[in-house]
Amino acid sequence: MKKLFVVSALFALGAMAESMNGFISDAHCGAKHTDESGAGCVQSCIKRGAAPVFVSDGKVYKISDSSKDKVAEHIGHKVKVDGKVDGDTVTIDSISMASGS
């Protein structure tokens, strides 16, 4: 019974939505550009085919295929993301400009 409870609790925690602040960068540059000064490079890399990524607290997260359209307006910007993290991938429920941006 204890194992079932622990497994259920861990599953519930993994399924909870998270709010994180970070930066929309690209897979080529990753965490190199984590402020607005690198926005032009990030936009250029994405136009050349690099995938967008989300960088938060130095960790680079892939953006799920279902969420890529949501970040299009935020390439190269500081953002607040509400979503779910599964390993190294974030699925975004909502995204907005981070305060102070």
Name the residue range of residue 91's domain: 17-97
pLDDT for residue 69: 95
- The rounded percent of the chain whose pLDDT value lies above 90 is 71
> What global pTM score does this model have?
0.80
Determine, yes or no, domain membership for 33. Answer: yes
Determine, yes or no, domain membership for 28. Answer: yes
Determine, yes or no, domain membership for 30. Answer: yes
Pair 95, 81: CB distance under 8 Å: yes
Determine, yes or no, domain membership for 54. Answer: yes
Give me the helices (H) in 1-101, please: 2-15, 39-47, 68-71
Determine, yes or no, domain membership for 10. Answer: no
| Of 73, 70, 61, 78, residue with least CA distance to 94 | 70
Determine, yes or no, domain membership for 2. Answer: no
Pair 30, 63: CB distance under 8 Å: no
List the pLDDT tens digit at each of the 101 positions of the chain. 555 444 444 444 555 578 999 999 999 999 997 777 889 999 999 999 999 999 999 999 999 999 999 999 999 999 999 999 999 999 999 999 987 64
How many domains is the chain partitioned into structurally? Answer: 1
Longest dimension (CA), the chain: 55
- What CATH number corresponds to the domain at position 44? 2.40.50
